Amino acid sequence: MVKEMKPFRLASRETKNEDTIVRVTGPRESINIGEGYCTVIAGPCAVENRDDYVTLAQFLAKSGAHLLRGGLFKPRTSPYSFRGLGKEGLEIMKDARAATGLPIITEVMDVRDLDHLVGEVDILQVGSRNMQNYALLDELGQVGTPILLKRGFSATIEEWLLAAEYILAQGNPQVILCERGIRTFEPYTRNTVDIGAVALIKKLSHLPVLVDPSHATGKWDMVIPVAKAAVAAGADGVMVEVHQDPDQALSDGKQSLTRDNFIKMVDQISRLADLENKKINTR
């Protein structure tokens, strides 16, 4: 009897059983993302101004973050909400990278943005709304930059892995998956966190998988518990939002950790990472 291959052939353990480790080269050190490591990506939902972002980045670098996040082109539900600083924000992120030595990650929304993002940021993020933007995925498969692919909020696990397949099939093996919650009937959280997806992805695919508890829950006081659950389930790290003053944030303040809570989270997931034999300090 001939065994039928998974439709996501390149992402499947049937094709490659060895875990993929994505190596992100920063200005001073490199970061490993994948099995055996616990990576912390942190920063505000959106870059708002230079002074606040660079100051926060310096704090995060000293407090356990391995990469800096920040939105430049924001896909907002309302066109009247703050939609990011665009190219101006990119220069701010580059200043923060120079000041801290940490690599930077930001979301790409459109193939037209690739011209000024490729070669300037260290990881390109595909957000939930663009998970099945196949033209964008094809283009990202032809760049040499690692790609963090978030799960669509209504996507099945197979659809998510097939989206990764688009990138892999075009020649870019540096794909990181990110569970960020799926839309269900439950109104008390922004989304429903699929922790079971982490364990299942680890079985089905060799690709690294992170969890974003900020977008998954929409509530800052749920971020730490879900981050802990993610690491306990075998996730290769977390991506969280941190803001110097969440009440004044221009985007997603309700789900952003304060500095003190970020320190608390890193301390708690570090202990779990030890139990899972993962290195919290990937540098």
Q: Quick one: tokens of 134? A: 């196949």
Cα angle at 159 between 227 and 74, to 5 degrees? 60
Within 10 angstroms of residue 88's Cβ, the number of other Cβ atoms is 12
User: How many whole angstroms separate alpha carbon 38 and alpha carbon 58?
Assistant: 20
In a domain, 68, yes or no: yes
Neighbours of 35 (CB within 10 A): 19
Question: First and final CA of the chain: distance in angstroms?
Answer: 47
Number of domains observed in the structure of the chain: 1
3: in domain: no
Q: What is the pLDDT of residues 221-280, one digit of tens each?
A: 999 999 999 999 999 999 999 999 999 998 888 999 999 999 999 999 999 999 888 887
The verdict on residue 70 lying in a domain is yes
> CA-CA distance, 65 to 63, in Å (whole number)?
6
200 belongs to a structural domain = no
Look at residue 100 and tell me if it is in a domain.
yes
For 13-61, the pLDDT digits (tens) are 999 999 999 999 888 888 999 999 999 999 999 999 999 999 999 999 9
Is the whole model's pTM more than 0.85, yes or no? yes
Is residue 196 in some structural domain?
no
Domain with 62 in it: 44-74+83-107
Higher pLDDT, 283 or 8: 8
Residue 112 lies inside a defined structural domain of this protein: no
